[in-house]
Amino acid sequence: MEWRAAPHPGHEMNQRDKNSTHDGHPARAFFGRRKGHPLRARQIELFETLLPKIAVDLSKPAPADLKTLFGGVDNVRLEIGFGGAEHLIAQAIANPQSGFIAGDGYINAIAKALIAVEDKALGNIRLHHGDASALIDWLPAGGLSRVDLLYPDPWPKRKHWKRRFIQHDSLARLARLLKAGGELRFATDIADYAVHALARVLRSKDFIWTAENSAHWKNPWPDFSGTRYEEKAKREGRAPGYFIFRKK
């Protein structure tokens, strides 16, 4: 048996559909690259046995209190597009008092997370395999303490910048999910994406940039857990930036 995700023409595509967000504006889809390597036997088994137990069910209304999805947590965080799951797993281990909802459209990303969840017996992770837009619209207002967006696709060509995840509309949608004082944490190794994001945050009515000096964005935040993508970026000479945007 060979599992492959259906191929998709783009990553975080900026397309409008007939669905609407909670504020009545058209929903924006953020698709992940879904075609990947064939899954190993154990990964296939975990898709069939573990994932149904820890997947959020978007066919039902979200609970008003997201903490009820977990046992004994005092806050809930979201990670969008977790890739190899290194950061997600490290954070879940370091913060057992937090619940983590993590979404990725890439089938191999979900497979890696499932292996780690089982091997490390992590009960504070819930997964969504699919488009981040559907998950964002499903989540209740004010239910999150933090959102992590690490190294999203930079769409380097100027004509494709409209496909980047951070846009005026997506900032508003993420702001809806955060409690007052909650944080959107964003990391990128692409300088013009950092400028792109900052330009939109600085015009946002919902967020403020917390940095007081360059050290605050040139260095990882204290509890940051690195990723393999980050290591690759550093090897190739790209310096990551680490940004914290706080909801007003």
Domains and CATH numbers, the chain: 16-247 (3.40.50.150)
Would the CA dihedral through 45, 50, 55, 61 be positive or negative? Answer: positive
Q: Please report, in tens digits, the pLDDT of each residue of the chain (248 residues total).
A: 333 333 332 333 333 333 444 444 445 554 444 556 789 999 999 999 999 999 999 999 999 999 999 989 999 999 999 999 999 999 999 999 999 999 999 999 999 999 999 999 999 999 999 999 999 999 999 999 999 999 999 888 889 989 999 999 999 999 999 999 999 999 999 999 999 999 999 999 999 999 999 999 999 999 899 899 999 999 999 999 999 999 99
CA distances from 129 to 6, 16, 51, 224, 238 (A): 12, 20, 9, 24, 30
The residues that are catalytic are 153
Cα 54 from chain centre: 17
Name the nearest CA neighbour of 23 among 157, 170, 146, 129. 170
pTM value is 0.85
Paired with 102 in beta bridges are 79, 127
How is residue 58 written in tokens?
Answer: 């978007």
